Amino acid sequence: MKAWLARAAMAGCGMLAALLAPAAAMAAGGAATQAHGAGRSVVLITIPGLRWTDITPAVTPVLWRLAADGSAGSLVAKTALTGSCPADSYLTLNSGASAQYRLPSGRCAPLPAVTPTAAAPASSTTSQNEAWPAHLAAMPRLVRYNEQFSTRPDWGLLATAAGPGQCATAVGPGGALALASQAGNVASYVPGAGTDARSAIRNCPLTVAGLGSLPPASARQGPAARARALRSADQAAERIIAAAPAGAIVVVAGLADGPVPHLQAIIVSGPGYSRGLLTAASTRRPGLVTITDLTVSVLRWRAQPRPAAAVGSPIMR
């Protein structure tokens, strides 16, 4: 086992060992070009609950190849609480600081509803492929909820990574929560990956896609339901990656771990992120990065300024 894979195993990425075998390069660029001003285009694909044990050549061949060619690590999904629900993680990603939203019982709250603020395309097929402005009516309430804590989230920070005069596309409710402004506005929203969301992804230098949380293997339908969800997420990721501009940084992140803490998978692929182990100064441990590291890394990849108060460190190879 190569040294970086041995360290990855110690950090919770033992399943990476098999990725030493040669793998075909991902066709992640298509015919699109890198033409979005300063910095590189960034496509961030989130699959809450994704662990390294989920990534196999049989069930998730796209993610398997991406990990083989890119840099890998484990994501510490801790937010303001011990565990991290999807809403907590997306709010933390949005603001670059620990944030949360729980039901009064302490259980995970569902992701807030997303409402288009412009007329949606008439065709149901087209509606999966074209972006339009949207609004999260719950966002002001979530902002107020976090005022009781001392973490001081910078709401909308992730969306600023697109840069002045540029747009950021949100795919799915998770992507919308990650890119919403403090008032809950999302400039460019696509409800799902659909059959081809190429134009919506290509038109903006920053895309954040939420592909839905994986069901726990301990659920009623057990491993079979999780395997189906993984295959669906892998296929959606393939469509999104195919639409990414050439030269883009592509990230796949588990993002949330649920009430019981567990390390999540993270893969970064693109210029400067060949085979190897991810690292960040914030954790001081090779192979481990955090959600707030991801927010400031997107700013760095997009060559946008990082606020002095921002938490986290750039994710490096």
Question: Greater confidence, 131 or 280?
Answer: 280
Report d(CA 275, CA 218) in Å as an integer.
33
Question: Greater confidence, 224 or 80?
Answer: 224
Per-residue pLDDT at 195: 53
Phi/psi for 65 (5° steps) reads -70, -40
Question: Greater confidence, 28 or 227?
Answer: 227
CATH class assigned to 3-21+39-114+126-301? alpha beta
pLDDT tops 60 at residue 129: no
Per-residue pLDDT at 118: 74
Per-residue pLDDT at 31: 36
Nearest to 160 by CA among 95, 241, 90, 243: 95
pLDDT grade, residue 51 (50/70/90)? very high
Per-residue pLDDT at 294: 97
pTM of the model as a whole: 0.87
Per-residue pLDDT at 207: 97
pLDDT tops 80 at residue 175: yes
Rounded mean pLDDT, 172-178: 97
Per-residue pLDDT at 243: 93
pLDDT tens digits for range 284-301? 999 999 999 999 999 999
Phi/psi for 145 (5° steps) reads -60, -40
pLDDT tops 60 at residue 115: yes
Contacts of 67 (CB under 8 A, 6+ apart): 16, 19, 55, 265, 267
Per-residue pLDDT at 33: 41
Per-residue pLDDT at 82: 61
* Element counts in the chain: helices (H) and strands (E): 9, 11
Residue tagged 């081809």 (tokens): 196
List, in sequence order, every residue forming a beta bridge with 208; answer none if it has no partner: 44, 170
End-to-end CA, the chain: 18
Domain range summary for the chain, segments of one domain joined by +: 3-21+39-114+126-301
Q: Which of 49-63, 235-249, 259-273 has the lowest mean pLDDT?
A: 259-273
Per-residue pLDDT at 21: 40
Helices 291-301, 86-95: axis angle to 10 degrees equals 40
Quote the Cα angle for 86-270-290, to 5°: 35
Half-sphere exposure in the Cβ direction for 120 (13 Å, CA)? 15
Rounded mean pLDDT, 42-57: 97
